[in-house]
Structure 1
Amino acid sequence: MTIRIRTALLGAALAGTAATSAVAEEWRLNNFLPETRPETAQIEQFAEDVNAALADKDFKLTVYSGGSLGLKNTDLLRVLPRGAVEMSLMWSNYLGRDAPALSSVFVQGAISTVDELKAVLPVAQEIYEEEYTDWGVTTVGFVAIPTLSVSVFCRDEPIHTLEDLKGVKLRVWAREQVETFTKLGVAAQIIPQEETYVALKTGVVDCALYPALYASTISLQEVTKYASFLYPMASAPYTLGVATDKWESTDPEIRTAITTAADALWERTNQYDKDAEAEMAAREKLGEMGVTWGEDFPEADRAQFMEAVSETWQMLAEEAGGNAMDYRARVLEALGR
């Protein structure tokens, strides 16, 4: 072998070694929320905090938003423990197929005030940690969701009574909503948020249940003309999960950086004093973009809706079996009901 060839090979080997050592261990954080959602900005800040704390480590946490990794929300309890992604945002209401007991913790519409939410959150977080542990997922943090005002957005005509709602096809996002509206005689179907725009535009549904606060993030103002408030909703927090075997084998310094940043994330998001102001601002913005805000659904209709929600909660807990009734009882106790 000539000196020139040996030198070239040695140079290539050294370059390869340098490239390998320069590549950080990357953790991907699957965030199913759109990039435009305010929670996404908070999650990105979380990743920045982790990376800043580990600047001298061979580690990087990268956020992939809007379903860009191709992971279905409903599959996360199956794929996360198997290493499909290192970390993922998870929401209990999307996981009822595999873990039906989770649907007995927070049922859409059952908890409607900030005081109720604050009373329930510690219990709910404890339950989620227990349930996810059984699936081989370690909870490393939570992301709070603002208290929301859920409205009915319609394409062709204003709808602001349950009676009128019976004559249209309604988009919802969770099974408990399907069950609740079915009790009220309304045809509801689950359509993922990323498919809602097209479903409205093509007439698959006539109206969509959606919070005004987030409506513009999926451009609902482009495919609906009318909206009316139906009910207030406090939501279960999102969970940040990591496969337990992955978490336990991770460098303690990395684990500490992640949990410290997660504590700060929770502190930033677990604030609700400006939610009502944000709701009104969102409605005004939607109005400027062409959505006509109609009358609220009558109090009698909202009372009827809440009664149906309560029945659905009981039904889902009984149907799920296992820990479901215990979860529901713990939440009801926290609520003082």
Structure 2
Amino acid sequence: MNVLPFARALVCLGAIAACSAQAQESVTLKVHHFLPAGSAAHQQFIQPWCDKIARESGNRLKCQIYPSMQLGGTPGQLFDQVKDGVADVVWTLTGYTAGRFPLTEVFELPFMMQSPEATSKALWDYTQKHAAREYAAVHPIAFHVHGDGVFHMRDKPVRTMADLKGVKLRAPTRQTTRLLAALGATPVAMPVPQVSEALGKGVIDGAVVPYEVVPSVKIQEIVKYHSETDPSEPALYTSTFMFVMNKAKYEGLPVDLRKVIDANSGQALSGQIGKVFLAADAAGKKLIGGNPVNVIPKSEIEAWKKAAVPVHEGWISEVNGKGAHGQQLLQAARELIQQHAAALR
């Protein structure tokens, strides 16, 4: 009896069985982030994304979400956690690892953001074309920004640049730190989870965060005043966020499950997250109750823009020193923001 054809048949059958088993494999993704489970980010973006990939995969892709840094570490370590496989997916600010994503920081420069949805779409396009190497160690799912940054002050509102002189203000990123210093304030860098305690103990006099953050850290219970910039102007600042996956985890998924991740990634998702954050701003603002809110007028903001010019120039000089062309990248980011903003009108 010639056993060779029989042996080959067994090998083929085994391969088919292995492929079939892989196709039916169920995968649970460890999703890690820094805000509480009650935050808008968790409830309106991360959990819905997890629910959607579960539905579209026939429940073969599942998430185990770990909010509030439940897998350990600090917010600044989230990128390394996903890169190294401690977590499978993370959501975090690029600015929490200061200086690690310098090309992306162009979106955090003062007075860049026109709308969270448009700017988030622009950010996705920009990273794919101009800053992909900053994320080569992971698999990007989405990039986005939050809504307008707002001053939340303990003892006095902000009406003019003079009101910021010497005031200790929480800053989220390097570029916002530089902006606040240029405006005369004393910036104190810290992630969002530390803001409540710092305000309560008087370590800082105020914080710049979007209204979306208010419910997560109960800012409205600690501060008395909220100062916005003229809504007809670009935002004072915004922060950039990444939603990224461990590269080996993504590449090790069966082809059909990778397609589910791909269908729930990219420019459209980035813009949708921006919309979620804009809606969350409105909900957060309702919680401030009777606290006074003032709008810093356009005439005053013009002086702030002039003061912020060195911040833009500093970023251009820094990325030029890294071999990039800062002015061209700044122009590219602005054009993408304008292009997506025009498409939404």
TM range (shorter): 0.7 to 0.9
Is the 1:89–1:238 contact (alpha carbons within 8 Å) kept by the matching residues of 2?
Answer: yes
Q: How does 1:297-308 map to 2 (within 5 A)?
A: 297-308=296-307
Corresponding residue to 2:66 among 39, 56, 64: 64
Q: For 2:156 and 2:135, how far apart are their aligned partners in 1? A: 47
Cα shift readout 1:21-63 (whole Å, capped 9, x = no counterpart): xx96432011223323323222101111222333464x53222
Amino acid at match of 1:179: R
Tell me the SS of whatever aligns to 2:66: strand
Q: For 1:330 and 1:267, how far apart are their aligned partners in 2? A: 18
Amino acid at match of 1:137: V
Residues 1:189 and 1:39: Cα distance change in structure 2 (over 3 Å): same
1:334 aligns with 2:325: no
Residues 1:127 and 1:305: Cα distance change in structure 2 (over 3 Å): farther
Amino acid at match of 2:142: F
Q: For 1:309 and 1:156, how far apart are their aligned partners in 2? A: 25
Cα shift readout 1:160-191 (whole Å, capped 9, x = no counterpart): 22202214211111111111121222111112
Worse-matched range after superposition: 120-129 or 83-92: 120-129
Residues 1:201 and 1:124: Cα distance change in structure 2 (over 3 Å): same
Residues 1:34 and 1:128: Cα distance change in structure 2 (over 3 Å): farther
Q: Residue 155 of structure 1 corresponds to which residue in structure 2?
A: 154
Give the % identical residues: 19
Q: How far does residue 209 in structure 1 lie from its aligned partner after superposition?
A: 1.2
Cα shift readout 1:272-295 (whole Å, capped 9, x = no counterpart): 8x94x865664343124xx222x3
1:137 aligns with 2:142: no
Q: How far does residue 236 in structure 1 lie from its aligned partner after superposition?
A: 6.0
Q: Residue 192 of structure 1 corresponds to which residue in structure 2?
A: 191
Q: How far does residue 143 in structure 1 lie from its aligned partner after superposition?
A: 5.6
Q: For 2:274 and 2:101, how far apart are their aligned partners in 1? A: 25
Q: How far does residue 144 in structure 1 lie from its aligned partner after superposition?
A: 4.1
Residues 1:114 and 1:163: Cα distance change in structure 2 (over 3 Å): same
Q: How far does residue 329 in structure 1 lie from its aligned partner after superposition?
A: 4.1
Q: Residue 16 of structure 1 corresponds to which residue in structure 2?
A: none
Q: Residue 224 of structure 1 corresponds to which residue in structure 2?
A: 223
Q: Residue 208 of structure 2 corresponds to which residue in structure 1?
A: 209
Q: Residue 292 of structure 1 corresponds to which residue in structure 2?
A: 292
Q: For 2:148 and 2:271, how far apart are their aligned partners in 1? A: 22
Q: How far does residue 218 in structure 1 lie from its aligned partner after superposition?
A: 1.0
Residues 1:145 and 1:38: Cα distance change in structure 2 (over 3 Å): farther
Amino acid at match of 1:238: F
Q: Residue 21 of structure 2 corresponds to which residue in structure 1?
A: none
Corresponding residue to 1:100 among 75, 99, 102: 102
Q: Residue 14 of structure 1 corresponds to which residue in structure 2?
A: none
Is the 1:200–1:207 contact (alpha carbons within 8 Å) kept by the matching residues of 2?
Answer: yes
For structure 1, the residue ranges without an aligned partner over 5 or more in a row are: 1-22
Tell me the SS of whatever aligns to 2:305: helix
Corresponding residue to 1:241 among 232, 241, 244: 244
1:49 aligns with 2:52: yes
Is the 1:95–1:102 contact (alpha carbons within 8 Å) kept by the matching residues of 2?
Answer: no
Amino acid at match of 2:171: V
Residues 1:86 and 1:213: Cα distance change in structure 2 (over 3 Å): closer
Q: For 2:101 and 2:123, how far apart are their aligned partners in 1? A: 19
Q: How does 1:251-290 map to 2 (within 5 A)?
A: 251-262=254-265, 265-266=269-270, 268-271=272-275, 275=278, 279=281, 282-288=284-290
Residues 1:44 and 1:313: Cα distance change in structure 2 (over 3 Å): same
Tell me the SS of whatever aligns to 2:109: coil
Is the 2:104–2:127 contact (alpha carbons within 8 Å) kept by the matching residues of 1?
Answer: no
Is the 1:105–1:124 contact (alpha carbons within 8 Å) kept by the matching residues of 2?
Answer: no
Give the CA RMSD over aligned residues.
3.2
Residues 1:121 and 1:267: Cα distance change in structure 2 (over 3 Å): closer
1:85 aligns with 2:84: no
Q: How far does residue 243 in structure 1 lie from its aligned partner after superposition?
A: 2.6
Q: For 1:299 and 1:117, how far apart are their aligned partners in 2? A: 21
Is the 1:158–1:227 contact (alpha carbons within 8 Å) kept by the matching residues of 2?
Answer: yes
Residues 1:128 and 1:254: Cα distance change in structure 2 (over 3 Å): farther
Q: For 1:208 and 1:82, how far apart are their aligned partners in 2? A: 32
Residues 1:298 and 1:236: Cα distance change in structure 2 (over 3 Å): closer
Is the 1:216–1:286 contact (alpha carbons within 8 Å) kept by the matching residues of 2?
Answer: no
TM-score normalized by the length of structure 2: 0.76
Q: Number of matched residues?
A: 306
Q: For 1:278 and 1:76, how far apart are their aligned partners in 2? A: 23
Q: Residue 164 of structure 1 corresponds to which residue in structure 2?
A: 163
Q: How far does residue 78 in structure 1 lie from its aligned partner after superposition?
A: 3.0
Worse-matched range after superposition: 89-98 or 162-171: 89-98
